[in-house]
Structure 1
Amino acid sequence: MDTPHDCKSVEEIKDALQNNNQALAIAKIQEYLDRQNNIPLNIAITGETGSGKSTFINAFRGIKDGDAGAAPTGVRETTKKPTPYPHPNYPNVTLWDLPGVGGRHFPADQYLSDVGFEKFDFFIILSDTRFRENDVKLAREVQRMKKKFYFVRSKIDNDLRAQKRSQREFSETETKEQIREDCIQSIQSPQVFLVSSFELQKLPEHKRNALLFAMPNISQQIINKKKEAFQAKIKWYASLSAVGAAVPVPGLSIAVDAPLLAGVVTQYVFGFGLDRPSLKRLAEITGVPFDDLMTVIISPLAARKITADLIIKVLSQCASTAALLAAEEGARFIPIIGIPVAMGLSFTATYSTLNFILTKLADDAQRVFEKALQRNTTD
């Protein structure tokens, strides 16, 4: 759901287009997209001491425990006050490591006021066993203060290994479902998520997308949701291209479109974790060699620095897009109808190009995910 500010921006864009004010329309569309891409999101990670808060934060950010910039981990409480950890690729997304709830310094009944609950968009409450009394108290307080929260059951690998050793016929799926049902019964709430099955529907759309793009690719579902969220924005980038095509200057459209496309594709590459730093971190975390991950990547835009020149090179190799761009250049100078036709062709070319690139990169993300998963399932 759009915010009132977003609705106002959309109306301003429509007014600028209706008044044939291309410069204002471009500025308003760019302002709207910049705001959408930089929405601040503050996530509070909490739970009892030893529940795995710091490890969760590091995993979410794609950083190994002990690396530079990682949240410190240990069997004792290592967090004395709320500590921010910005996402390496999305500095607008900050995970806050909160002190363990229920300790003598942070009793549950005054915990939220002590940590400054008002600055957080939502809470993730972790537990490494059954959810305890302090977890339930905290959840009720979060609800009472009209904030959103997730219950997340951490360290399920320990339970899976124990069950695998004790059961002759072991089913990972059934064991995970049993863990989830046990958690639901202990807290009397269906809002329980295993780390591998995070859901996002509870957040406002603009906050949900900020969280989604920053999340690691922990499932096919997450990759698909990222693709859907990126697709929803393509119409705005195509509109930017179309408005740029209204100016009758030879070659201007591609001069505008190439840097625009480079910026959008860069978002896709980082969002899917297909930039080289993210792939190297994934290789270190999973133990799958970086070169092995690279072998399953097909798109020429993955693991590369995205520039306008690279975009032009890729577009020139796509016959349908090249034909649309050539038609747009010619149509712009047809009397009376030329500009509207050029705008339509530019919109179509940008829309189809971004959809095509997005699909290819999403497919690469899936192949990388499956490659990384192979190592974990064979160990």
Structure 2
Amino acid sequence: MPSARQMAADNPELAAAVQRSRRLLHRRALVAAAASAVPVPGLDWAVDAALLSRLLPQINAQFGLTPEQLDQLDPKKREQVQKAVTLVGSVLIGKFITKELVLRATRTVGLRLTTKQLAKYVPLAGQAVAATVGYATLRYLGEQHLRDCVQVVQQAQLRLPAPAGRS
């Protein structure tokens, strides 16, 4: 499966939105890795959920896919976007991101998260493994969401919003 960057390669604006989103994703994944290394039960799950619940709306905003941005579209274009979202199968585009939605998305990587929980209790090496898995898990979920956003924008032929200030 191609990456979001590869999917957006022929559209400079879309590629720029992917790049901005990937920077956000990388920073949040580093925080997730640090939280994963701490051997406190459940801390990493709480941090991952909090990070994702803030990150996903920021990524959606880069592509013009927040509920507020979609409400500003004319009805015909909004319908095109909703059809594209349905075709892609995303539950995280065009919706208010709740913990329930984040938990539903993280179920797809449940085995990784369980491994991360178990690994962190092995001194040093286990914490490194947990941090690596924590980083990889958030990156995986974020990259999947980026691919979904790119597909929706391409299928709906949606114009991207002007880039906001740096985050």
- Name the TM-score, length of structure 1 as normaliser: 0.37
Q: 1:350 to 1:293 in 2, by over 3 A?
A: closer
Identical counterparts, % of pairs: 23
Q: 1:242 to 1:296 in 2, by over 3 A?
A: same
> Residue 369 of structure 1 corresponds to which residue in structure 2?
157
Q: 1:221 to 1:342 in 2, by over 3 A?
A: same
For 1:347 and 1:229, the matched residues in 2 are separated by 18
Q: Deviations over 1:164-210 (max 9, x none)?
A: xxxxxxxxxxxxxxxxxxxxxxxxxxxxxxxxxxxxxxxxxxxxxxx
For 1:240 and 1:250, the matched residues in 2 are separated by 17
> Residue 164 of structure 2 corresponds to which residue in structure 1?
none
For 2:80 and 2:142, the matched residues in 1 are separated by 27
For 2:136 and 2:11, the matched residues in 1 are separated by 29
Larger radius of gyration: 1
How much does 1:300 deviate? 1.2
> Residue 329 of structure 1 corresponds to which residue in structure 2?
117
User: RMSD of the TM alignment (CA)?
Assistant: 2.0
Please, which of 52, 58, 61 is the counterpart of residue 261 of structure 1?
52
Q: 1:353 to 1:292 in 2, by over 3 A?
A: closer
For 2:117 and 2:83, the matched residues in 1 are separated by 38
Q: How does 1:240-259 map to 2 (within 5 A)?
A: 240-259=31-50
For 1:281 and 1:220, the matched residues in 2 are separated by 23
Name structure 1 gaps, 5 residues minimum.
Answer: 1-218, 373-379
> Residue 273 of structure 1 corresponds to which residue in structure 2?
64
Amino acid at match of 1:354: G
Cα pair 1:223 1:366 within 8 Å, conserved: no
Answering whether residue 147 of structure 2 is matched by residue 359 of structure 1, we say yes
How much does 1:368 deviate? 2.0
**Over 3 Å off, 4+ runs:** none
How much does 1:306 deviate? 0.7
SS class of match (1:228): helix
Q: Deviations over 1:77-105 (max 9, x none)?
A: xxxxxxxxxxxxxxxxxxxxxxxxxxxxx
Aligned residues: 147
Cα pair 1:328 1:346 within 8 Å, conserved: yes
Amino acid at match of 2:98: T
Which protein has the bigger helix share?
2
